[in-house]
Amino acid sequence: MIALLIRDLRLAVRAGGGFGLGLAFFLIVIVLVPFGVGPEAAVLTRIAPGILWVAALLAALLSLDRIFALDFEDGSLALLATSPLPLEGVALVKALAHWITTGLPLTLAAPVLGFLLNLDGPAYPWLLASLALGTPALSMIGAFGAALTVGLRRGGLLLSLLVLPLYVPTLIFGAEVVRRGAEGMPVTTPLLMLAGITVGGFALLPFAAAAALRVNLR
């Protein structure tokens, strides 16, 4: 499983792997927002938590269809299915690799971009915490969606439609953590809910994703 993780990370970083794509998208969206809503600092401060979370979510969405599609096309997935690795483990590792190449860079870049949106000072640690806790769920839910749509032509579009509604709870609680953090209110409840979604997703979705892969490999 570690070999698979290392291979996926290596593939992502090498030419054509799409590493940095989500990060660049995140950056551009955040830079565009002040152009759209105007330079009023008070307005930006108010919408910053929501915008940061929505942009991170869309950036994570961007590379989801690559999780399984490339391996499906070149036959690797069929070979992995007949290997000693359980498909559940493959799904888990692939979600993890997606998070390391997408969610983790987004999390680390978010404070810098929060500055562009005039995010309130006390919110920074909570922005970092909520993204660190919430983006793994985005990758795991996304991996499940990618497993469902893997053999389909233009599956990417369908994948977005399937996955975005599933992202709603993560978005609500993630943005709520940052908003409460900015206003100095207690953040425990949304933070625990966010952690619950992530932990629950990682516990259940590898099995769902593996089942979907098995059907799509037939």
Partner 1 sequence: MLTVTDLACARGGVPVLSGVSFAVPAGGVLILRGPNGVGKTTLLRTLAGLQPALSGTVDFPEDQGAYASHADGVKATLTVTENLTFWAQVHGSRMPDDILATFDLETLRDRMAGTLSAGQKRRLGLARLGVIGRKVLFLDEPTVSLDAFSVRLFADFLRDRHLAQGGLAVIATHIDLGIDAPELDLTPFKAGPQTTGGSDEAFL
Binding site for partner 1 (CB under 8 A): 2-4, 7, 10-11, 14-17, 71, 73-76, 78-85, 152-153, 217-218
Query: Is the CB of 75 or the CB of 165 nearer to partner 1?
Result: 75
Query: Is the CB of 41 or the CB of 79 nearer to partner 1?
Result: 79
- The least distance separating partner 1 from the CB of residue 29, rounded to whole angstroms, comes to 28
Q: Please tell me whether residue 200 adopts helix, strand or coil conformation.
A: helix
Query: Is the CB of 136 or the CB of 145 nearer to partner 1?
Result: 145
| 32 close to 123: Cβ distance less than 8 angstroms | no
Q: Taking the CB of residue 102, how many other CB atoms lie within 10 A of it?
A: 30
Q: Closest Cα partner for 213 from 88, 73, 65, 62?
A: 88
Query: Is the CB of 177 or the CB of 212 nearer to partner 1?
Result: 212
Q: How far is CA 188 from the centre of its chain?
A: 22
- The least distance separating partner 1 from the CB of residue 11, rounded to whole angstroms, comes to 6
- The least distance separating partner 1 from the CB of residue 159, rounded to whole angstroms, comes to 13
Question: How far apart (Å, rounded) are the C-alpha atoms in residues 36 and 93?
Answer: 38
Residue type, 54: V
Query: Is the CB of 47 or the CB of 81 nearer to partner 1?
Result: 81
Residue 175 CB contacts under 8 Å (≥ 6 apart), including other chains: 49, 50, 52, 53, 54, 130
* 19-38 residues labelled b (16+ CB within 10 A) or e (exposed): bebbbebbbebbeebbeeee
- The least distance separating partner 1 from the CB of residue 139, rounded to whole angstroms, comes to 21
- The least distance separating partner 1 from the CB of residue 74, rounded to whole angstroms, comes to 6
